[in-house]
Amino acid sequence: MARTAYPVHPGRLGQYGLLWHAAIAQAHPAAHTILLWSMGLVTLFVTTAVALGPGMSTAIGWALCTPAVIMLFAWTMCFVPGATSLNTPASAQLAPGMRARLFELTVLLWGGAMVLLTAGLLVLQEGSAPMLLLAMAITLGVAAGMGSVRGSWIMVLPLLGASLAGKLAPPWLLDVLRSPAATVVVVATMIPCAVLVARALLPQAGDRHWDMLAHRARMLGAGQKGFHSGGLAGFAWHGLTLERDLARRKPRPLLMRALGPDIVAATVASGTVAGLTFATMTYFGRSVTTAGVTEVLAPSASAMSALILLSFLFQAGSVPSLVARTRGEQALLRLAPAMPAEAQRFNRMLAHGLLRQGLTIWAFVSATAVLMALVAGARGNALAASACMCCMISPAIALALRDHARAPSWSAIFYWLFAVGLSITGPLAGAVLFMLFGQPFWASATIASLVFAGLLVHRRLRLMEGAPFAFPAARLD
C-alpha cells in the first residue's frame, strides 16, 4: 500500500521565517536579501572606519549599534506594514495560531534589535537612557502611526522635547536620566511597551479590528486628497500654475501635469513657509534675555537644514511611484494630439521634464537650507559645510530617470532608501580619500557627489530614451 504524504507543519522557528518573508516581501520581492547585504556591508564599513580612527573599543560599540539601527528601520518601515496587512479580520479569526506567531515575531524582532542597540550604547557612552527613550519613541510611535493605531502621536511627544532637553532641562534631571538606574528602568519597560504596541497593531478580529481598518481607510482617503493625488488643486497657487501651463499650450508642462499637482510650486510654498517660520523664531529668540533659549536656536539650524534636505530626498523617491499611480491620466494624455507618437521623442520629453523638475527642486531646497543656516548665524566653515551637504544629495535627482514602461513598481519606502543611498556615495568616497590619501573630506565628498550625479544622470537619460513608451497605455501605435 502506498504511503500517503501529509503536509508537514514547520516548527515555531519555521513559522517565524515564513511570516517574516511574507511580511517584508510586500515592500520588495528581494527585501530580505537587500536587508542582509546592506546590514553586512554598512556594518563592515562603519566598523572598519571607526577602528582606524577612535579605536577598537569604539568600533565594537558601532558594530553593535549599526545593525540594530538598520533592523529597527526595517522593522518600522517594512515589516510592520506587511504584518498588519497579513493580519486581516478573516485570517485573525480563522487562523489564530498565525496571528499569535505574528504577534510574537513582532515583539521578538523589535526587542532583539533594541537589546543590540542597548549593548552598543553601553559600550559607547555611560548614560544611554535618553538615546534608548528616543529610539523607542521613534520606532514604536511611527509603527503605531503607520498601523492606524489611535493615539499613536502621544508616543512621538518625546521627539518634540528632545532638542530642548539638553539645554533647558535642570541639571538634576539630566543627571537622573544619565544614571545607570535610569538605563535599567528604560530597559525594563522595553518589552511591556512593545507588547502593548503589538497588541494594538495586531488585534484578534472583533470590533476593535474593524474600527482600526475603518480608521486606516479614512486616513488613506484623506491622503488621496493630499499632495500626490491632486488634493492641492483648491489652493490658489496651484490653480494659477495650472492656468499658466494651459495658456502656454506647451507639451512638456502639460505632460508633467499627468503626474499630479505642480511639485515645484508645492516645494516653493512649503519651503517659503518653513524658512519664514524659522526666521521669525530666530529673530524673537535672539531678543529673549534667557541664555538657554538663545543657545537652543543655534544648533536647531542644522536640524532644520537636515529636515529640508531630507524632504528633497523624500520627493525624489516619490516621483517614480507617481508614474506608477497615474495610469488613468497617462492613457488620456497619450490621446492628446500635441503629444509625440514616437517612443524616443516622448521619453526624451518626459526625461527632460523630470530632470528640470528635479534640478529646480534641488536648487530651491539647497538655497533654503543655506539661507536658514546663514540666518541662524552659521559663518565660515559651518556655512560651507551646509552648502557641501546640499551638493551631496544631488545624485538623488537621477532616481526619477528610469525605464518606466518595464521597471517593476516597488514600495515608496525603497525609493526613499535608494535616494538616501545615492546621497551617501559622495561622503563615502570622501571618507575613503581622507583615510587613504589625506584629502580634505568636505571638498572630496562634494566633488565626488557632483561627478557621480552628472555621470548617473547622463547614463539614465540614455537609458530612458532607449526604453519603450514610458506611458504604456492601451493604444494602437
The pLDDT > 90 percentage for the chain reads 10
Which stretches within 95-156 are classed as H helix? 96-124, 129-146
In a domain, 4, yes or no: no
C-alpha cell, 153: 502621536
- Name every residue whose Cβ is closer than 8 Å to that of residue 213 and which is 6 or more positions away in sequence: 89, 148
DSSP line for 459-473: HHHHHHHTSS-SS--
Residues 170 and 246 grouped into a single domain: no
Q: What is the pLDDT of residue 293?
A: 47
Residue 257: name the closest of 357, 347, 335 by CA: 357
C-alpha cell, 266: 508645492
In a domain, 2, yes or no: no
Residue 108: name the closest of 128, 83, 130, 88 by CA: 83
Residues 330 and 431 grouped into a single domain: yes
Residues 243 and 209 grouped into a single domain: no
Task: Measure CA 332 to chain center.
Answer: 32
Residues 274 and 179 grouped into a single domain: no
Last residue of a domain, one of 218, 249, 278: 218
Residues 241 and 384 grouped into a single domain: yes
Q: Is the pLDDT of residue 97 over 60?
A: yes
Q: Is the pLDDT of residue 227 over 70?
A: no
Contact (Cβ atoms closer than 8 angstroms) between residue 117 and residue 65:
yes
Range(s) of the domain holding residue 137: 12-218
In a domain, 283, yes or no: yes
Task: Produce one character per residue of 383-406: b if its CB has 16 or more CB atoms within 10 Å, e if not.
Answer: ebbbbbbbbbbbbbbbbbbbebee
Between CA 365 and CA 369, with CA 366 as vertex, the angle to 5 degrees is 85
Contact (Cβ atoms closer than 8 angstroms) between residue 423 and residue 399:
no
The residue among 460 and 256 whose pLDDT is bigger is 460
Last residue of a domain, one of 185, 218, 251: 218
What are the strands, taking DSSP E only, across 15-80?
none
Question: How far is the C-alpha of 135 from the C-alpha of 221, rounded, in Å?
Answer: 30
Question: What count of residues does the chain have?
Answer: 477
Tell me which DSSP letter residue 4 carries.
P
Residues 51 and 100 grouped into a single domain: yes
In a domain, 158, yes or no: yes
Encoded amino acid at 94, one letter? L
Digit-coded pLDDT (tens) for 19-45: 999 988 887 788 888 888 888 888 888
Residues 316 and 440 grouped into a single domain: yes
Residue 149: name the closest of 206, 102, 209 by CA: 209
Q: What is the pLDDT of residue 71?
A: 92
In a domain, 1, yes or no: no
In a domain, 5, yes or no: no
Residues 388 and 336 grouped into a single domain: yes
- Name every residue whose Cβ is closer than 8 Å to that of residue 263 and which is 6 or more positions away in sequence: 315, 319, 357, 361
Q: Is the pLDDT of residue 332 over 80?
A: no
The residue among 29 and 279 whose pLDDT is bigger is 29
From residue 243, alpha-carbon distances to 30, 240, 322 in Å are: 43, 5, 22
As a whole number of Å, the CA-based R_g of the chain is 25
In a domain, 3, yes or no: no
Of the ranges 49-53, 156-160, 264-268, 348-352, which is most confident? 348-352
Q: What is the pLDDT of residue 302?
A: 58
Q: What is the pLDDT of residue 225?
A: 43
62-86 mean pLDDT:
88
Last residue of a domain, one of 157, 183, 218: 218
Q: Is the pLDDT of residue 181 over 70?
A: yes
The average confidence (pLDDT) of the chain is: 76
383-411 mean pLDDT:
84
Q: Is the pLDDT of residue 1 over 50?
A: no
In a domain, 223, yes or no: no
Residues 307 and 416 grouped into a single domain: yes
Digit-coded pLDDT (tens) for 140-161: 888 887 776 766 556 655 554 5
316: number of CA atoms within 13 Å, CB side?
31
Summary count for the chain: helices (H), strands (E): 21, 0
Residues 40 and 136 grouped into a single domain: yes
Q: How confident is the model at residue 441 (pLDDT cuts 50, 70, 90)?
A: confident
Q: What is the pLDDT of residue 286?
A: 58
Residues 312 and 210 grouped into a single domain: no
Q: How many domains are there within the chain?
A: 2
3-state SS class at 169: coil
Residues 178 and 273 grouped into a single domain: no
160-176 mean pLDDT:
57
